[in-house]
Amino acid sequence: MDTLALSRLQFAVTAMFHFLFVPLTLGLGWLTAWFESRYAFGGDEKYLPIARFWGKLFLINFALGVTTGITMEFQFGMNWAEYAKYVGDIFGAPLAIEALAAFFLESTFIGVWVFGWDRISKKAHAGAMWVVAFATNMSALWILLANGWMQRPVGYILRNGRAEMVDFLALLTNPYGWLEFFHTVFAGWVIAGFFVMGVSAWHLLRRNQEEAFKKSFGAGAVFALASSLLLAWVGDLSGVNAAKNQPAKLAAMEAHWVTQKSAPMTLLALPRLNGEGNYFEALKVPYGLSLLAFHSPSAEVTGLNDIAPQDRPPVLPVFLSFRAMVALGGLFILLSAAGAWLWRKDRLAEFPLYLKLMVFAIPLPYIAIQLGWLVTELGRQPWAVYGLMRTAEGVSRTLTLRQVWSSLGGFVLFYSALGVVDVWLLAKYARKGMEA
**Which of 88, 177, 176, 163 minimizes the C-alpha distance to 388?**
163
Out of 375, 378, 418, 426, the residue judged to bind ligand HEM by CB under 6 A: 375
- Minimal distance in Å, beta carbon 192 to ligand HEM? 11
Tell which positions 321-350 bind ligand HEM, by CB under 6 A. 325-326, 328-329, 332
SS3 210: helix
CA dihedral (381, 384, 389, 394) positive or negative: negative
- Minimal distance in Å, beta carbon 212 to ligand HEM? 27
SS3 271: strand
- Minimal distance in Å, beta carbon 181 to ligand HEM? 8
Please say whether the beta carbons of 80 and 7 come within 8 A. Answer: yes
The size of the interface with ligand HEM (CB under 6 A), counted in residues, is: 27
- Minimal distance in Å, beta carbon 244 to ligand HEM? 10
- Minimal distance in Å, beta carbon 20 to ligand HEM? 12
**Which of 171, 11, 181, 172 minimizes the C-alpha distance to 84?**
11
- Minimal distance in Å, beta carbon 191 to ligand HEM? 6
Tell which positions 151-180 bind ligand HEM, by CB under 6 A. 180
Q: How many CA atoms lie within 13 A of 364 on its CB side?
A: 25
CA dihedral (151, 152, 153, 154) positive or negative: negative
The reply on whether position 376 binds ligand HEM by CB under 6 A is yes
**Closer residue to ligand HEM, CB minimum distance, 212 or 292:** 292
Q: What is the DSSP string of 23-78?
A: HHHHHHHHHHHHHHHHHHTT--TTHHHHHHHHHHHHHHHHHHHHHHHHHHHHHHHH
x/- map, 266-305, ligand HEM, by CB under 6 A: ----------------------------------------
Amino acid identity for residue 91 in this structure: F
The binding site for ligand HEM (CB under 6 A) comprises 180, 183-184, 187, 190, 231-232, 235-236, 238-239, 241-242, 249, 325-326, 328-329, 332, 365, 368-369, 372-373, 375-376, 379
